[in-house]
Structure 1
């Protein structure tokens, strides 16, 4: 009930922001048009935004028969989290990262990048998946996905107002000045909403994800690796749709410092420190047995969990051969 109320409040606030932008761009007429767009965005955001997000982030579904080890991992961790096993998607990006989406645990998906499977050890991948499952269990995914949809729409509306104008001095109290202000202030307001939605949820998902995987130090190690590599490898889909950056476990945008005022994510060092404190409190160290998916039959063991072959979904390397992003 609380999650439903929280989502309703968020939708109402974003709709009000959308109408405010419309008013300063096109006066009363612009506000009514913005209301219409907001209502459509609400419907799309609830029922279809997860599919839009997956498509816009170059995430494609992968069959269980092609990557049984990853599916086994997601299935085992989902049962530990007490939720249905979500659909599994592969993000076609060399940048290590991951996100979850879906309107509820019964209609959810976990997306991991090819770079994540390439650069992280098995226990680290498991910890990242557990973090995303925590978002699903907490029903954060609907809130985060709707916020991404609205943030992108608000920014697009502001740009539309700049290029096509609208309103007049009698209907819009600030005229052209109002339109110019909205071009800069509307995306910033949308960003502030993203920050409010994302920052506290990441800490909570870290904590619950560590409990699900039983390995807080693996998640700490994964966050450190992802943060270091994300700044050096461009996620093209995320750069094209920056309003969706808050959905990832680590900010996917290049050149972003996680500890600045306008970051959608908490400082990675603070997250790692919190996880290490959690590990110390639970008396967990790297010598404990961890959840490990079975190794591939033809692959030598690596990282405590086997070297996996994950499909490249049609991509090839420079020599024309298929690229295996794991190992």
Structure 2
């Protein structure tokens, strides 16, 4: 509540005003893992969550950079975009599954003569297509998520007025997630500011760009706009 965390709520309110957004709901998650995420399919229903780990790890400017990044997700309606992408990917997987079972129960849809004339090859090709289509849809979904992170970084830097606090925050967060891994579901990892899923499928289907690339992009942005004025919070 604002009475329990007045500085955090004031920071969110000031940055929301700069982003021309209504103040989102603010949640604090009790975990040592330093991370944050935003949700809400429209600005009027937005919410920002931060962990106690991130509040302890980052200084005030870095935390402001992270919150600005999360507000950028709300402003850009990235939760809605991610939901649409996930729905499309799920629909493709479901259709592929239905068609595959249709092949099975219909005896693969071919006669003995067609099988002798190469029908088996067509059947195998059809099965491969049905198997690869959902994977392709998922890869596209992950690519969309990665691209939205770059956009949120740039928008968040504009909201704060300086890309560098977010750049240093990302470096700290990358190290922090390795020190305190979070038991996050891979299907929701796109909600976080850095990928909370380490190893295995977290590396195979990354929802976030490599942190080093994001930091490099933010530092390049700072060089391009050296005269931008950053919002200053009371110490």
Q: What do the CA deviations read for 1:276-320 (whole angstroms, capped 9, x no partner)?
A: 1111222269xx86522x4xxxxxxxxxx4xxxxxxxxxxxxxxx
Name the residue aligned to 2:226: 283
Q: Choose from 63, 71, 74 the match for 2:9.
A: 71
Q: How many residues align?
A: 217
Q: Is 1:220 the counterpart of 2:167 in the alignment?
A: yes
* Alpha-carbon distance in 1 for matches of 2:25, 2:205: 32
Name the residue aligned to 1:269: 212
In 2 relative to 1, CA 136–186 (structure 1 residues): closer, same or farther, beyond 3 Å?
Answer: same
CA contact (8 A) 2:89 2:138 kept: yes
Q: CA deviation at 1:251?
A: 0.6
* Alpha-carbon distance in 1 for matches of 2:151, 2:6: 29
* Alpha-carbon distance in 1 for matches of 2:219, 2:53: 25
Q: Is 1:97 the counterpart of 2:35 in the alignment?
A: yes
Name the residue aligned to 1:169: 105
Name the residue aligned to 1:195: 142
1:153-168 aligned at under 5 Å gives the runs 168=104
Q: Calculate the TM-score normalised by the size of structure 1.
A: 0.57
Name the residue aligned to 1:39: none
Q: CA deviation at 1:185?
A: 4.8
Q: Which structure has greater helix proportion? A: 2
Other structure's SS at 2:38 match: strand
Q: Is 1:248 the counterpart of 2:186 in the alignment?
A: no
Q: What do the CA deviations read for 1:180-220 (whole angstroms, capped 9, x no partner)?
A: 997x7576345313222211111111111001111211000
* Alpha-carbon distance in 1 for matches of 2:3, 2:81: 32
Q: Which consecutive unaligned segments of at least 5 residues does structure 2 have?
A: 110-122
Q: What do the CA deviations read for 1:200-247 (whole angstroms, capped 9, x no partner)?
A: 1111111110011112110000111111111232211x1xx2111122
CA contact (8 A) 1:123 1:290 kept: no
CA contact (8 A) 1:133 1:209 kept: yes
Other structure's SS at 2:12 match: helix
Q: Calculate the TM-score normalised by the size of structure 2.
A: 0.77
Q: Choose from 155, 158, 167 the match for 1:211.
A: 158
Q: Which consecutive unaligned segments of at least 5 residues does structure 1 have?
A: 1-62, 295-304, 306-327
Larger radius of gyration, structure 1 or 2? Answer: 2
CA contact (8 A) 1:195 1:262 kept: yes
CA contact (8 A) 1:215 1:284 kept: no
CA contact (8 A) 2:69 2:153 kept: yes
